[in-house]
Structure 1
């Protein structure tokens, strides 16, 4: 599912050479781990935290096993486990530097190919002390883990604002995993990570009920579904738009939006949210970036009858 990308001539995605603030590659970097783009006057950097490999059945817990196997075969994917990208985003707007989600950190040592966000930020020339705001789409361990890495908090500015929905904070005070398909060991990791995060960062939380603007043209809105406080981030500037959909949309969602992901705490609501967001994206033509879409996870959504079609951007390199 890797895509080669060409120069688009569109304002929303510009050559990395045209973006002065960040995104330049070092000559000794062999793994592509970041991609720079521009949404109007907003600078955006998609950064790969790496790859995790959950069980393949967690992709579609309510699917007929034969149908799930057929989809995996069509995509040349293993029936046992599959590579799941972890994408985070850095946004610069109005003098603020906003980090959206923080990756896995060291929360799951068995996922050896992930947890790279901090040193990839450094490779991109982004000092942790320059981050003014963090937005968390939700508090699963692969979204808060980077903030829990030893030594990270000490490098962040003391007036850092962390934006998170109030419903998410309430949920993780006593989380319910009864409707997920999450393996028990990962549910335990999720509980521990959320407790550690709240202990370390509670004083820096800036909670919101439904939506809030965290920087000019950067609005975070609660959707629920995946978790009760799951949120998406919409960027808008100069007529250009981009949505960071967090864990609302997955690679399989375009062919089977009705399939439940094993990490969803309210699968039916998550399906409703997913369909609503896919329809919005298909109608508006907004760019989409999502946590678990293959890096660099930049594309658009087109309607395809009752389903949807993922249209990846051509890579500008």
Structure 2
């Protein structure tokens, strides 16, 4: 079975050959753990690519929750009580003649000592995807696990000189003097976030294409600012032929379906983030759209159902 050929069928649609990803490389052993997953949204090709995993304290899932409640949820989910691996997912989209990378993973900062993260560049290469074919990048926000891949040595030189990097103007403004007073992050993270965002904005300032509230990057691919997680956080909606998919970035975390009011430690406005999360869940349940998010377990493709006063995550059945 080829990893790149796995994709959920949508609404009885006929299976299509995915041209975005090569499926075999003679002489190169495949990874034992799948790292890419393809799905067709009408005429638009979407590939979820794993950037690896990031170990973090479990308190980051809901720092406003009672410790006993948080411990009970972790136990019910068969997760360790103190720290567990957060998935890091990136999406690649082809719509017409545009090839769009949505977020860019953590990168390879040697000071972070995170050997199981920052896998995006290697996995793009393994999928036969040339960085020079990417016409656009959309950044949901400027946290380092969403921009670091573009700061890996040698990456910028492989990108097109006319590459356009789309992000909300409010996000750029925020990082001029970021306020972390409402976030609850482990030691060292605030400084690392500031430094990485500052470096990114310096390196790529000529490629930035800022939008206010919404921007159509390509036919059927629309970035919309939500705020909450960061002031300029955005989601990306993909729609074609009656099929829909949303990449929700960091608006959605695994615990959020049952506890949308729990605050994630990286949220710069936790109350607004909770309102955004609930609103997106309601939209996804009503439209039956597919959902992909950065920190849901790979490949994170599924749907949202209403479950009483809360929500329920419904993973797709993998299509082999």
**Bin for the TM-score computed over the shorter chain:** over 0.9
Match of 2:99 among 92, 97, 100: 97
Q: Answer yes or no: is 1:28 the counterpart of 2:45.
A: no
Q: Does structure 2 conserve the Cα–Cα contact (< 8 Å) formed by 1:299 and 1:311?
A: yes
Runs of 4+ with >4 A deviation: 6-9, 11-15
TM-score (norm 2): 0.94
Aligned-pair CA distance for 1:182: 1.0
Q: State the partner residue of 1:10.
A: 10
Q: State the partner residue of 2:258.
A: 255
Q: Answer yes or no: is 1:188 the counterpart of 2:191.
A: yes
Q: State the partner residue of 2:57.
A: 55
Q: Answer yes or no: is 1:274 the counterpart of 2:313.
A: no
**Aligned pair in 2 of structure 1 residues 8, 119: CA closer, same or farther (>3 Å)?**
closer
Q: What's the secondary structure of 2:268's corresponding residue? A: coil
Q: State the partner residue of 2:113.
A: 110
C-alpha separation in 2, matches of 1:229 and 1:8: 31
Match of 1:122 among 125, 139, 156: 125
C-alpha separation in 1, matches of 2:158 and 2:113: 26
Match of 1:136 among 134, 139, 156: 139
Aligned-pair CA distance for 1:8: 5.3
**Aligned pair in 2 of structure 1 residues 226, 131: CA closer, same or farther (>3 Å)?**
same
Q: Does structure 1 conserve the Cα–Cα contact (< 8 Å) formed by 2:7 and 2:38?
A: no
C-alpha separation in 1, matches of 2:129 and 2:55: 28
C-alpha separation in 2, matches of 1:115 and 1:56: 21
C-alpha separation in 2, matches of 1:14 and 1:22: 19
Q: What's the secondary structure of 1:158's corresponding residue? A: coil
Q: Does structure 2 conserve the Cα–Cα contact (< 8 Å) formed by 1:12 and 1:240?
A: no
Q: What's the secondary structure of 1:53's corresponding residue? A: strand
Aligned length: 311
Q: Please say which of residues 45-54 and 6-15 is displaced more in the overlay.
A: 6-15
Aligned-pair CA distance for 1:21: 2.8
Q: What's the secondary structure of 1:54's corresponding residue? A: strand
C-alpha separation in 1, matches of 2:165 and 2:239: 21
Deviation track 1:276-301 (CA, whole Å, cap 9, x = no partner) reads 00000000000000000000000000
C-alpha separation in 1, matches of 2:167 and 2:286: 27
Deviation track 1:133-186 (CA, whole Å, cap 9, x = no partner) reads 000000000000001101100110110000000000000010011110112301
Q: Which blocks of at least 5 consecutive residues in structure 2 are unaligned?
A: 1-5
C-alpha separation in 2, matches of 1:25 and 1:56: 38
Aligned-pair CA distance for 1:228: 0.3
Aligned-pair CA distance for 1:111: 1.9
Q: Does structure 1 conserve the Cα–Cα contact (< 8 Å) formed by 2:7 and 2:37?
A: no
**Aligned pair in 2 of structure 1 residues 149, 12: CA closer, same or farther (>3 Å)?**
farther
